[in-house]
Structure 1
Amino acid sequence: MADNSSMTGGGTLLHFGERFYIVQLLVLIFLCINLLLIVTLFSKVYFYTTMRYILFTVTLLSDTLILFITDVMFIFSYSQVKMPIALCVPVYIVVVVYTFVTPLTLTAMTLECYVAICMPLRHGELCTSRRAVHCVLIIHGLSFVPLTLILSIFFASAPTSLYSEHRICSMDIFVYLRWQDNAKMAVYQLYFFVMSATIIFSYIKIMKAAKKAVSGENNKSSRRALGRVTLHGFHLLSCLILLWCPFMETAALQTDFKLFLNVRYFNYIVFNLTPRCLSPLIYGLRDEKVFLALKQNVPFQFHFGQNSVQIKKI
């Protein structure tokens, strides 16, 4: 979950044209998949009146926005397009805020699973569509806290003349002093510690509920919830690894510049692009209601024979 600078910082990122076109192809495919899922979730009233699917939609919208913006920044960086630093500030605001929105929303979805399994009698009361909207507002408010801290330190320490300088728009330019980077990382680590602890706590509680479940239906619901929480955990883990990518890239740069370029490219594809599409796609396909609605919205029809492989839904 770093500042998505894995492929957008610096002016000499890629020297191989084929890598540029590979990235553009992947981004196009991932954007199409995410947009298809978003259209699907807005196609049924049930999806935007149920807390679980409201939060899922927020995750998709956040990831899609980040995919688009970081790809535009990547194109500008590859093309050596420079702009005033003042124009990079709005871009930086959106990137940082929505980089936090995704893992915070995953945490909220995990808590919804916990309430559904461990507090079923209160689920209808606590997980209404109105509370989901309040939850989304709180998530965005919490996402602005790290941004406010980072920009406040930057504005207080950077000279006024810096804003008129023309540079390639990257996230690195907003870390003017080394201690700013340390402070930023400390805030990021704190957020991820709290979110990781919440997901682990929910997973343990749901696992205990699954073991205590007497009826087959309760046990099945608990195991479905465990599957969802596990997926949220892997998605969150990919965000956490992305936070550590700058450290790996710095170590690679000290060793060999070509290795640095390869590591940066690998990190961008594996920890930035891929999780923002595959995790939501897997979650959508493994949800029975989303899967059935998705079949109706794809531009071609699926035909499943009796011997075809069935997708396991959780």
Structure 2
Amino acid sequence: MAANNSLAGDDFLLRKVQFVVLQSLVMIFLFINLLLIITFLKKEYFYTTARYILFALTLLSDSFLLFMSDILLIFTHFHITIQVWACIIIFVVVLVYITVTPATLAAMTLERYVAICMPLRHGELSSTRNTMNCILIIHGISSVPCILILSTFLASASLSYYSKYQFCSVEVFMLYIWQHNLRSALYQFQFLIMSIIIVFSYIKIMKVAKAASGDDKKSSKKGLRTVALHGFQLLLCLIQLWCPLIESAFFHINFSLYEIARYLNFLLFYLAPRCLSPLIYGLRDEVFFQALKYIASFGLYKQNLIDKMN
């Protein structure tokens, strides 16, 4: 009996430590994103340049999605149930923004393709106006799965179901097997199209890189690395779509295993992909990194590349 109590105590302590570590990582990530967003807003060059505008969109999307997902994780940790109608409100945001970042990655990849493979048309196609229209299209595309999933749920659920208290997860809206299949098919199709865009752009940029020389070759190779990172980021986002299926299986077996699965999935497939965006543009982009160091040092660091932005 004492041994069982000791094991239960160790398990409880381990879960508490995991929770504190994860919350600390989330806070660090959100702070870094806030710093990057402030840097973006400080220079006109950034918010009038297509790739930086799209980068800012990924920062906002990732921060918003991570914040909402973390709230759901906290609910699970403390075994908090909420009424289904409140869960719907939360998941409208989650279901839309789970696709915004991958769709934006595809748009950023196309922007790099145009910049390297069609430099004479880059200024026209990547204008601020076209970028804003692209953002509207991204949100429209991202809303399609949310609308269809919620429509099937609203058509299937009884009125009394909305007042029930449940653990808030996407499984709340999956009343039938065909709804799971529909959700999976929608997201797999979207990510297939995005993957094709990234692979197409990578091949085209690779051809230009082989034929280029000097500064053009260096720029093309950097573009290749950026597109490759976008592809890896997209892969992690795709795996994220399988997380609810894994969590659902554990939920029906053991709640403790379900909690562990949620922690691991959150860390590997929610947090990790969203750490790549700051890496790709916040650190690898020389101009942005110089501006970031200037902001982070409260103006004590003198920028060497500031003239390039004016």
Q: Which residue in 2 is equivalent to 1:240? A: 238
Letter in 2 for 1:192: F
* Alignment-mate amino acid for residue 117 of structure 2: C
SS at match of 1:45: coil
Aligned to 2:294: 296
Over the residues paired in the alignment, what is the CA RMSD in angstroms? Answer: 2.3
In the alignment, is the contact (CA less than 8 A) between 1:199 and 1:229 conserved in 2? yes
Letter in 1 for 2:113: Y
Structure-2 residue corresponding to 1:83: 82
Structure 1 match to 2:8:
none
Q: In structure 2, what is the equivalent of residue 71 of structure 1? A: 70
Percent of matched pairs sharing the same residue: 54
Q: Structure 1 173/37 Cα, relative in aligned 2: closer, same or farther at 3 Å?
A: same
**Runs of 5+ in structure 1 lacking a partner?**
1-12, 305-314
Give how far 1:203 is off: 0.2
> Are 1:46 and 2:45 counterparts?
yes
TM-score, length basis structure 2? 0.87
Structure 1 residues 160 and 75: CA distance shift in structure 2, 3 A: same
Which residue of structure 2 aligns with residue 269 of structure 1?
267
Stretches of structure 2 that go unaligned for 5 or more consecutive residues are: 1-11, 303-310
Alignment-derived partner of residue 105 in structure 1: 104
Equivalent in the alignment of 1:119: 118
**Cα distance between partner residues in 2 of 1:300 and 1:274:** 28
- Give the ranges of 4+ consecutive aligned residues of structure 1 lying more than 3 Å apart after TM superposition: 246-264, 299-304
Higher RCO (C-alpha under 8 Å, 6+ residues apart): 1
Q: Counterpart of 1:84 in structure 2: which amino acid? A: Q
Inter-CA distance 243–293: structure 2 relative to 1 (3 Å threshold): same
CA contact (8 A) 1:34 1:277 kept: no
Quick one: distance in 2 between partners of 1:54 and 1:239?
A: 21
User: 1:59, 1:102 within 8 Å by CA — same for their partners in 2?
Assistant: yes
Range moving further from structure 2, 52-61 or 247-256: 247-256
* More helix by percentage: 2
1:287 pairs with 2:288: no
1:163 aligns with 2:180: no
Aligned length: 291
In structure 2, the CA distance between the partners of 1:248 and 1:168, relative to structure 1 (3 Å rule), is closer
Matches within 5 A, 1:179-218: 179-213=178-212, 215-218=213-216
- What whole-Å deviation, never above 9, does each CA across 1:172-212 have from its counterpart, x for those lacking one? 10111111011100000000000001100000000001001
Sort the Cα spacing of 1:41 and 1:131 in 2 relative to 1 into closer, same or farther, 3 A: same
